[in-house]
Chain A
Amino acid sequence: MAEIHLTPRHIPDRLEGRGARLLKSWESLLLVVACLIFLGNSLASPYFLDPWNLSDATFNFTEKAMIAFAMALVIIAGEIDLSVASIIALASTAMGYAVQLGFDTPALVAIGLSVGLICGAINGLLITGLGLPSIVVTIGTMSLFRGLSFIILGDQAFTGYPDSFSWFGQGYVWWVFSFEFTLFVALAVVYGVVLHRTNFGRAVYAIGNNQTAALFSGIRVARVKFVLFLLTGLMAGLASICLTSRLGSTRPSIALGWELEVVTMVVLGGVNILGGSGTIPGVVLAALIMGMVTFGFGLLNVPGIVMSIFIGLLLISVIALPILWRRARQRLAH
């Protein structure tokens, strides 16, 4: 009796193997860049490879990176939130006001997070409820939220935060690992899992790739987007707590211009500004690169404008290189 051999035929779900794909990915490119910068910094300055100095340097990017994780999801879903820096200002102003009324640290944290959530909800409602473009809405709320801080504070500052509050921006969990850095790592894991391992994450990609198709396949597009804006608001509130704690004071100009730095971080991390693709590991690497470049150049007392130029060049070259690479390969193939 002839036995029928049923060897399951392997149908590849991707054109290249896992290894090859990983090697050619954006993240590997960023990793190489990060390693080169790390190496360059270590060679250039004797002060770079010092655990405490490196720990101090993490404060350059941790707060921005917290927002960048949520921003990555928003941009992958084809939207943008430019009001995040202004939410930091408003949340910080609210916390400063609460301090004057005599509230203590737990209440301050609750206020910071709630103001972030409320601001996020306002953005989300305007965008999903009224169907307005997110770039227009958040440019508007960017002025609105910071304007409110200016009205409340004018040229004054809120100070006198309780001592226990300073832990969020100045405290250490263990050895050189600050609370902010630990939070950054924890949030990276959480956002990585949410984006890459959950239905919600798939929905975000689906919306970014084709909103109509996503809607017809049963994804509640408006609800997902609303949640995303809530998240950026919440992260801005969290960043506000950390930054306010680190500065020990509030002024309406706090975190001025951070929205663009956050977006730069996300785009450098390989998130398509038009939506549909991008990863959390990429954003983590971009945050590390931006932090190390700022710190490394700072150690050599390179003027800030040179750092901006370098980040700009890095951004353009990291975006242009894969395109040039593809074109070159096509030309070789012909």
Chain B
Amino acid sequence: MKILKSLMVTAAVSLALMANAAHAENKKIALVVKALGIGFFEAANKGAQEAAKELGDVEVIYTGPTSTTAEGQIEVINSLIAQKVDAIAVSANDTDALVPALKKAMDRGIKVISWDSGVAKDGRMMHLNPSSNPLIGNMIIKLAADNLPEGGDVAVLSASATATNQNTWIAEMKKVQGNYKGINVVTTVYGDDLADKSYRETQGLIQSYPNLKAIIAPTSVGIVAAAQAVTDAGKIGQINVTGLGLPSEMAGHVKSGASKSFAIWNPIDLGYSATMIAYDLIGGAEAKPGAELKMGRMGTVKLDDNNEGAMADPFVYDAKNVEEFAKIF
């Protein structure tokens, strides 16, 4: 009994101290993530803290459930409503299940936005996509072209033939192909997002196209498998593997030279921009189709008919910065 009592008292006192440490006059922006302890979201928090520092009168509350459940996020959102935060920026575990809780938050005057993983239209004022399909399509061919000043043959290693995301990006890429002189896209093969199939398809590409200069893999599984296949075939320096990948998985291949550069969203910028947008909304900006919201150093975001906006081009990772980000995600 005594032990328990003293435990409880210690807990209560320490909690009280923690509560007092917070500044009451600051605007409170809650960054709600899918679950705590995920590198990608820890990095987003870094960006949010950067934004808070820049803005001065903002306190960022970085929070989320222990596991990636909608129920856990609703508990978190309820406690944020109770604390009367000024804004909630959420990366949702469930597009629909959070809507009633977030609607309640908006009813009580809290600005609600979603980022990274969106909430259905009724449950938020705007959604921030890390990038947009045209920007991604342009980026993946630009990465290949930047290292091929004289042009050359380029092949695409995609996920499955029915993968909506990849098909859209490849279609967008083909639209802007004319802007990159001499770049000749010879074929698209499908590795089905399986490491072994992607590896074999890459081997096939290397044999079928002796003049191949680059492989574009807009999938994080494919890009790693392709880089490995190029390494194993001894083609480093001849064939550059690029596309969309995760720094932690690609760091080795960038170091070996199999991949000169690749792209993916930058979680730090994403957390930074979400915080900036939330602040803009607290300040009175209105989220409506066509509106432009301020994102600090990231410029502005323009909202489409669904009140969605794209932050920026995918962020490019190369030998200079990949090690640093490999620690994050």
Question: Which chain A residues have a beta carbon within 8 Å of chain B's beta carbons?
Answer: 29, 32-33, 36-37, 39-40, 43-48, 50, 53, 56-57, 59-60, 157, 159, 166, 169-170, 243, 246-249, 251, 253-257, 294-296, 298-305, 307-308, 310, 317-318, 321, 325
A304–B64 CB distance below 8 A? yes
Contact, CB under 8 Å: A44 / B66 = no
> How many angstroms between the C-alpha atoms of A254 and B95 in the bound complex?
13
Residues in chain B near residue A170, CB distance under 8 A: 100
B70 touches A251 (CB 8 A): yes
Residues of chain B within 8 A of A302, CB atoms compared: 15, 18
Are A60's CB and B75's CB within 8 A? Answer: yes
Is A301 a contact of B61 with CB atoms below 8 Å? yes
Within 8 A of A (CB), among B4-24: 4-5, 7-9, 11-12, 15-16, 18-19
CB distance B1 to A304 under 8 Å? no
How many of chain B's residues touch chain A, expressed as a range? 35 or more
One of A47, A169, A300 near B15 (C-beta < 8 A): A300
Q: A43-B16, A45-B19, A295-B79 are in contact. Are A248 and B69 (CB under 8 A)?
A: no
Interface of B is mostly: helix
Binding site for A on B (CB under 8 A): 1, 3-5, 7-9, 11-12, 15-16, 18-19, 36-37, 61-67, 69-72, 74-76, 78-84, 94-97, 99-100, 120
Determine the distance from Cα of A255 to Cα of B75 in the docked complex, in whole angstroms.
13
**Distance between Cα atoms of A43 and B11 in the complex (Å):** 11
Distance in Å: Cβ of B80 to nearest Cβ of chain A? 8
Task: Write out the residue numbers on chain A whose beta carbons fall within 8 Å of the beta carbon of B82.
Answer: 47-48, 50, 53, 56-57, 295, 298-299
Give chain B nearest CB distance to A304 CB in angstroms: 4
Q: In the bound complex, what is the Cα–Cα distance between A37 and B4 (angstroms)?
A: 11
For A170, give the chain B residue with the smallest CB separation: B100
B70 in contact with A57 (CB, 8 Å): no
Contact (Cβ within 8 A) B94 A157 = yes
Neighbouring A residues of B78 by C-beta, 8 Å: 56-57, 59-60, 295, 298
For A159, list chain B residues within 8 Å (CB): 96, 120
Given contacts A251-B70, A303-B36, A304-B36, contact A325 B8 (CB under 8 A): no
Cβ of A43 and Cβ of B66 under 8 Å apart?
no
B8 in complex: contacting residue of A36, A48, A59, A257, CB < 8 Å: A36
Please measure, in the bound complex, the distance between the C-alpha atom of A53 and the C-alpha atom of B78, giving whole angstroms: 8
Which of A59, A248, A257, A296: most chain B CB closer than 10 A?
Answer: A248
Q: Is the interface of A mostly helix, strand, loop or mixed?
A: helix
Please name all residues of chain B whose beta carbon is closer than 8 Å to the beta carbon of A307 when the two chains form the complex. Answer: 66
Smallest beta-carbon distance B65→chain A, Å: 5
A-B contact count (CB 8 A): 133
Asked if B69 and A40 sit within 8 Å, CB to CB, the answer is no
When the two chains form their complex, are residues A40 and B15 in contact, meaning their CB atoms are under 8 A apart? yes
Residues in chain A near residue B61, CB distance under 8 A: 301
The reply to whether A300 and B18 contact each other, CB–CB distance below 8 Å, is yes
Which B residues are CB-close (under 8 A) to A36?
5, 8-9, 12
Instruction: Decide: A249 and B83 in contact? CB cutoff 8 A.
Output: no
A294: B residues at CB distance < 8 A:
75
Given contacts A40-B15, A43-B12, A159-B96, contact A304 B79 (CB under 8 A): no
- B81: chain A residues within 8 A (beta carbon): 56
A-B contact pairs, 8 of them (CB 8 A): A40-B12, A157-B95, A159-B120, A243-B71, A257-B69, A298-B79, A301-B62, A303-B66
Question: Quick one: which of A37, A295, A300 contacts B19, CB cutoff 8 A?
Answer: A300
Question: What distance in Å separates the Cβ of A89 from its nearest Cβ neighbour in chain B?
Answer: 12
Q: Is the CB of A44 within 8 A of B19?
A: yes
Distance between Cα atoms of A316 and B187 in the complex (Å): 62
Q: How far is the CA of A256 from the CA of B37 in the complex (A)?
A: 19
Partner of B100, one of A248, A255, A325: A248
Residues from chain B with a CB closer than 8 A to the CB of A310 are 11
Partner of A321, one of B1, B64, B83, B84: B1
List 10 tightest A-B contacts by C-beta distance, closest first.
Answer: A298-B79, A40-B12, A249-B96, A304-B66, A44-B15, A53-B82, A247-B97, A36-B8, A44-B16, A56-B78
For A249, the closest partner residue in chain B by CB is B96
Whether A47 touches B84, Cβ cut-off 8 Å, given contacts A56-B78, A159-B96, is yes
Contact in complex: A248, B12 (CB < 8 Å): no
Judging by beta carbons under 8 Å apart, are A256 and B1 in contact? Answer: no
A247-B74, A254-B97, A301-B61 known; 9 new pairs, CB 8 Å cut-off, are A32-B1, A36-B12, A47-B82, A47-B84, A251-B97, A301-B83, A304-B66, A305-B36, A308-B66
A246, B100: Cβ atoms under 8 Å? yes
With A257-B69, A308-B66, A317-B4 as contacts: A47 and B83 at CB distance below 8 Å: yes
Q: Which residues of B contact A56 (CB under 8 A)?
A: 78, 81-82
Q: Which of A46, A248, A257 contacts B67 (CB 8 A)?
A: A257
> Residue of A at shortest CB range from B71?
A255
* Bound-complex Cα distance A50 to B83 (A): 11
Q: Which of chain A's residues has its CB closest to B81's CB?
A: A56
User: Do B66 and A247 have beta carbons less than 8 Å apart?
Assistant: no
For B64, the closest partner residue in chain A by CB is A304
B61: nearest chain-A partner, CB-CB:
A301
Cα–Cα distance between A24 and B63 once the two chains are bound (Å) = 40
Complex: how many Å from CA A8 to CA B270? 82
Q: Which residue of B lies closest to A255 (CB)?
A: B71
Q: Is the CB of A40 within 8 A of B96?
A: no
CB distance from A236 to the nearest CB of B (A): 15
Whole-angstrom CA separation of A248 from B16 in the bound complex:
36
Please name all residues of chain A whose beta carbon is closer than 8 Å to the beta carbon of B79 when the two chains form the complex. Answer: 57, 295, 298-299, 301
Measured between beta carbons, the chain B residues less than 8 angstroms from A243 are 71
